[in-house]
Structure 1
């Protein structure tokens, strides 16, 4: 408090106390005598409610006022952060609280900021209490400048400068503008690893995500230093050694030096490899619930081989998951390596402790700003008030993730306060765009430029339902499709799909384009989940196919029209099965995908059976190399003595079948030189994905080499005929890029085995985006 004399003050007596100042100056305290408060008044308020002041005062009317209470009041008022200055005045057994409010931020703006968008910077400032509607002072301006500089440091902009301009406006408000001079990006000029003997420096550097400058680092930004990236790389280096037997490997130190102009960075990593250890055996100790043999079967550590930290971690994880299947949510599996340095051997001891068994009290959902809770909850196989089961929880997490609505899905296990046998689960999700706009284009000498597009929303209004509109237009075909899917048409998880479509097709014909097939139709399909991984589809549809022609109709179409007329009505029943075990639908590196579809024409003008089976398998050859295999087989036959409908033929060539050949140009050709397709088709594709030169470990940009083989056969043709209708083979290279506007795939190839009548299409591309 302040202690001015009466001669320097207004006529009313004033008592102000600042305890800290008095203590520092060691002046005798002229303290107000305690008295009973008759009144408390507040002066100087502009925006703050008086109740905010009264709420923090340590005294009320009728209380005895003392000097200590006055000092406590001052500290409490300053602690609110709302006031620039506060003083207490005492008059006639009343206390007057005089305040000077801090200005409020009316607006925050940035100039010169190009590396970050405005919302990102506003969010960073808000995290430290600087934002519109917040009190402002010089200390906050300093904190804001430091926070902005810290943001730029994460992008290797070490020379960034920030200047704050504060402009007062009416009603004690201010506009705050941050002028940013970003400077140049500091790039990594050199990365050195010292102390390594077992592996070359170039081998170790290839494991790191950080790199020196290269011709593609403008895209990967891998030559921009950040402490977080370096720490991640050090862990990668540590894992590399620990998985090759170097149990005592250690990063001794790291030095990061920046040039005087803050443009170049040098990194030196000093390592100590230690010796390489071989595993002599694995011993288990502790409580394994009387299932010791089951737990032994989960051990992936192999005696006689080099110590691998990854195998140890996998074993621990498998033990904990197995404990969790029996309700032990807080089980532990601790490994203790017993090292013999003289022989370079290690015995791995694993101690298991199940802890206590618990059940799940409640399952909470967090982070779903769009998707409804029920859409997430209905995917859960772990139920409330049931014993904790880690297998079911993992399955539930995977099912929520496979919905495709979320960028990240995580399940937290939290103990319930006051109990020993209950836990709560919290499902944390991060929403992502679930709509997609797909645009494709092809160019060939036959069809020239063709386009395809689709607009899809996987999660309409957060309901989990699908709505899609697709169209394809080219010189020879047009397709329009409207589809809806309700994945939980029934409470048991049976899905329902509705499709309306309209297709026109002009088969490739060298004599003209004066005929076409027109097929409107509709179908309904139900999906029945037979397991957590398998779904069987049952459906029925109705469609009418019209052969429109004035001239140049291919001979087989002419024959079909002569027997069955211009219009044919079909009522197909469909039976399908699907299983997707890929690790990613966008950039798969491991796993298998299978799909089977059977179509049976049971009524109308046609009787036929049409089958199609597809198998995809991905093999992770290494961290950077992936081999993908795809095989597809189609087969159709007419029933009840009727001809197989020509408009149900399979076609081959182009995207999705055998690349480097023109779209739908493989298979039989009739006497009019029209490509008519066939009732049998085989496609086999192999793709080897490799890193793009200069892209390091970035999986969003990869090169691939491919080999395709396949063909189409008509009725009466032998699939073993390698002379007149051989299997077509092509090979080529391509680029796969998860670009800012969506997945992009380019390919260029050449036919290796072909026939004289084939049409060649060497270049193809497809691009999509999300909204």
Structure 2
């Protein structure tokens, strides 16, 4: 007898097990069914048992057997496999009841709820998208194998982020109606720290120089912020590419990375990186040639080549040259132009000849400009910002400019405007340009919410919308009240009143203002105004504006409580009501790349405001604003900001003789309904008394009106000093209390470093700043030594309730209290306030 090897016996057993079981099994769901016969039979009917959620029609769709079919053992096996492949069933059994084919199934449960806990490094939304791709999401059929794959994939992703102690614990809870709740608990653990990086073979450059631009670094005192000591496979791969570029940009054509080794400590908390490299020799450029179809004159293309014969080889300059040529061609319609630098390396004399091969591709026309993601903003509002037009040749410069203009609208999250160039199917000379945007809150409705240290609690109703009904128009309605202000206002702006971009707007307001609660001189005012303004763009970045308005300002002041200079100014006019006709001419240049959080660009504005002849007080105010954003690195943006304002009168000085001491008519309450009280013993017909010239005083009003003065100090100018307290201060007669009165000259500035990546939110940012500035009585009073300086940190957050601003500043240059020899206060110092914050209002 020939002995069959054990391997052959095993193969025969597996073959028998795979061909017969589905056909021969008895179904527990159908006790009356009999095991199917081994021979073929004709199916008179088909019965499906065990269905709960899935309809019988769905099963019949996948079942490859129909009534009237004559089936055998092999067809039944194929039917079972087909039903398993649907993923709907945990078990499938087939039996026969006479000529009726009975299919008994056990459905897999449905996922009722999928919960992720403990994940911080990877966002829940990103994880849920990944789980859905694998087939694990709410409403899907639960597959335990898919859950195992999810566990392995999450572990791999966290390992790639340097978290080797991660623990993924899935939990499945059974519910009624064949449902389950799936909970995936993530214990991320601590990221492995890079304790040592070692480069072997770097002879020309030291390791610190080579790794200066790496994202991976050994633990240092800044690692808490930069997180550069956390190991990541992706970061290491990018750093090795930077290592390669470092040497190729310095002429080392034969540079190579021979080996990389990553070692981990037994507790999986420390990483040790080692890379072996060969530097090679430095190569120079022996010649540069431009070939191919250059479209433009060859000399014009050669001007975009930045590598020259005799220079040290640099891949960075080659890439820069290629990009410059591609950009030039893409601006005249060649959207898919390519430049292939082909090096010819001569290792004998260590030179490289470069052939810049230009492949322009077809010239393409823009078929359509498409917008996606603008659920509120109408297409018309976005289309009028376009500089790339449909039906014209494609231009990369026009597309880039259109993207910047969309970002500067302020309707979208910072950095959320992305552009895709999609070829039109079936056409090699047409493309569609698709702008993908993500809208953000462009207004707010606030009721009874607001607080600042200056104003206290603010009760207000304010509807502000910078993108009213998606039209791009700005509308604001406000009614507010706090300890120093009642205000009712309406404003409207149509930025595209004409198709050419001329804007038209209106402002209307009425307010009662108590300055004594505003850190300024003690007087109050009631004023109303109506304004109309126009804006006209003159270039892509420049515009001019013109404003006409009329206002009425009624001032209430009290001698003995209000500084004398203010009361004298009012007395000089003989009226406490000031009527003004105003006009303002302005010029602005705005090249910033974003409205909400710019990272580059400049903003400048010059405005000249003048009250027209015939106004109660004739004066002018000139104001200049400057702000420039400098991108220092990917994580740092520097903002340099300055503002200068100056005002003065332009008409003749106003002079008036008034009765000074004592006044015959005394108005104690400033109430028009209450008549003044006559001073006892005085003659009302001759208030100052005959022969008493000392009681007469000549008062002259000149310069900028006090109610138009500039103020500084606080969260909007020089932080660390109380709002509006910088600059000249005066006391009322008989009072030692000094009150800020502002000045005709304002000079403030700031250096502020933003950290965009410190907070993972497009609505928040942290900064460190140095503020400086002050207010002076006039030009002659300016002295640079009197500038106040402060430094600190700030947090700005565009919260749903309105903007929140918190700053902590330390005054570096300030005026201290000055005391005399007897301990008497000679000069009061500045009012400082280190912690300042405010929230509420509209965006």
Is TM > 0.5 for Structure 1 vs Structure 2?
Answer: yes
- Of residues 567, 570, 575 in structure 2, which corresponds to 1:561? 570
* Shift of residue 566, structure 1, vs aligned partner: 1.3
* Structure 1 match to 2:626: 615
- Give the Cα separation in 1 of the matches to 2:385 and 2:504: 17
Q: Give CA deviations for 1:422-458 in whole Å, capped at 9, x if unaligned.
A: 222222234455568999967xxxx899999999765
Counterpart contact for 1:659–1:761, Cα < 8 Å: no
* Shift of residue 235, structure 1, vs aligned partner: 3.7
Task: Pick which of 592-601 and 517-526 moved more.
Answer: 517-526
Task: Pick which of 581-590 and 247-256 moved more.
Answer: 581-590
* Structure 1 match to 2:24: 4
**Residue 172 of structure 1 pairs with residue 186 of structure 2:** no
* Structure 1 match to 2:610: 600
Q: Give CA deviations for 1:645-692 in whole Å, capped at 9, x if unaligned.
A: 332222345555566766545555568565433334444x46385999
Aligned CA distance change for structure 1 residues 276 and 752 (closer, same or farther; 3 Å)? farther
- Give the Cα separation in 2 of the matches to 1:278 and 1:665: 64
- Select the structure of larger CA radius of gyration: 2
Aligned CA distance change for structure 1 residues 294 and 366 (closer, same or farther; 3 Å)? same
Aligned CA distance change for structure 1 residues 231 and 490 (closer, same or farther; 3 Å)? farther
Counterpart contact for 2:710–2:775, Cα < 8 Å: no
TM-score of the aligned structures, taking structure 1 as reference length: 0.81
Q: Give CA deviations for 1:122-162 in whole Å, capped at 9, x if unaligned.
A: 44433322222221132123123224434544654322223
Task: Pick which of 155-164 and 328-337 moved more.
Answer: 155-164
* Structure 2 match to 1:677: 742
* Structure 2 match to 1:26: none
* Shift of residue 494, structure 1, vs aligned partner: 4.0
- Give the Cα separation in 2 of the matches to 1:671 and 1:606: 24
**Residue 651 of structure 1 pairs with residue 711 of structure 2:** yes
- Of residues 515, 537, 540 in structure 2, which corresponds to 1:529? 537
* Structure 2 match to 1:23: none
* Structure 2 match to 1:295: 301
Task: Give 5+ residue unaligned stretches, structure 1.
Answer: 17-29
SS in 2 for 1:127: helix
Q: Give CA deviations for 1:3-25 in whole Å, capped at 9, x if unaligned.
A: 32999997766549xxxxxxxxx
Task: Give 5+ residue unaligned stretches, structure 2.
Answer: 1-19, 654-701, 733-737, 819-826
**Residue 326 of structure 1 pairs with residue 384 of structure 2:** no
**Residue 575 of structure 1 pairs with residue 618 of structure 2:** no
* Structure 2 match to 1:409: 417
* Structure 1 match to 2:144: 138
* Shift of residue 299, structure 1, vs aligned partner: 3.2
* Structure 2 match to 1:751: 813
SS in 1 for 2:24: coil
* Shift of residue 557, structure 1, vs aligned partner: 2.4
Counterpart contact for 1:682–1:710, Cα < 8 Å: yes
- Give the Cα separation in 2 of the matches to 1:130 and 1:353: 46
Aligned CA distance change for structure 1 residues 240 and 606 (closer, same or farther; 3 Å)? farther
SS in 2 for 1:97: strand
* Structure 2 match to 1:25: none
Q: Give CA deviations for 1:210-232 in whole Å, capped at 9, x if unaligned.
A: 33334554444333222223333
Q: Give CA deviations for 1:87-133 in whole Å, capped at 9, x if unaligned.
A: 44456665443322111122234566676676665444333222222
TM-score of the aligned structures, taking structure 2 as reference length: 0.74
- Give the Cα separation in 2 of the matches to 1:393 and 1:317: 16
Q: Give CA deviations for 1:267-291 in whole Å, capped at 9, x if unaligned.
A: 2334444444445654322222133
- Of residues 546, 557, 564 in structure 1, which corresponds to 2:554? 546
* Structure 2 match to 1:633: 644
- Give the Cα separation in 2 of the matches to 1:319 and 1:189: 44
Counterpart contact for 1:657–1:710, Cα < 8 Å: no
- Of residues 308, 311, 321 in structure 1, which corresponds to 2:317? 311
- Give the Cα separation in 2 of the matches to 1:6 and 1:158: 49
Aligned CA distance change for structure 1 residues 236 and 457 (closer, same or farther; 3 Å)? farther
* Shift of residue 359, structure 1, vs aligned partner: 1.4
* Structure 1 match to 2:108: 102
* Structure 1 match to 2:83: 77
The 5 Å alignment of 1:705-716 reads 706=770, 708=772, 711-714=775-778
Counterpart contact for 1:660–1:762, Cα < 8 Å: yes
Aligned residue pairs: how many?
A: 739
What is the Cα-based RMSD across aligned positions, in Å? 4.6
Counterpart contact for 1:660–1:750, Cα < 8 Å: no
Aligned CA distance change for structure 1 residues 499 and 296 (closer, same or farther; 3 Å)? farther
Q: Give CA deviations for 1:712-742 in whole Å, capped at 9, x if unaligned.
A: 343xx53xx67xx556345554335678987
Task: Pick which of 590-599 and 464-473 moved more.
Answer: 464-473
- Give the Cα separation in 1 of the matches to 2:451 and 2:309: 53
Task: Pick which of 246-255 and 761-770 moved more.
Answer: 761-770
* Shift of residue 82, structure 1, vs aligned partner: 0.9
**Residue 504 of structure 1 pairs with residue 513 of structure 2:** yes
* Shift of residue 488, structure 1, vs aligned partner: 4.1
Task: Pick which of 418-427 and 197-206 moved more.
Answer: 197-206
